[in-house]
Structure 1
Amino acid sequence: MMTSQTPRVAPHQQPLRSAIALGVVTAVGLLMALVGMAALFLDEGDVESLIAAQDLTALLIVVAIVAVVLLVLNIGATVATLVLSIVVMVKGEGKLRLGAALLLATALFGYVISFSFSGSGSMLPDTAEQAVDLLSVLELVGSIARLVATAVGLVILTRGIGEVRQARRRAL
Structure 2
Amino acid sequence: MSVREIRLYGDPVLRTTCAEIDDIDDGIRALVDDLIETVRLPGRAGVAAPQIGVGLRAFSYNVDGRVGAILNPRVVEVRGEKTPTNEGCLSVPNLWHPTPRHPYARVEGIDVDGRDAVLEGEGLFAQMLQHETDHLDGVVYLHRLEKDERRIAMRQVRESDWF
Could you state the TM-score of these two structures normalised by the residue count of structure 1?
A: 0.28
Name the structure where helix makes up a greater proportion of residues: 1
Structure 1 or 2: larger strand share? 2
Higher RCO structure, 1 or 2 (CA under 8 Å, sep 6+): 1
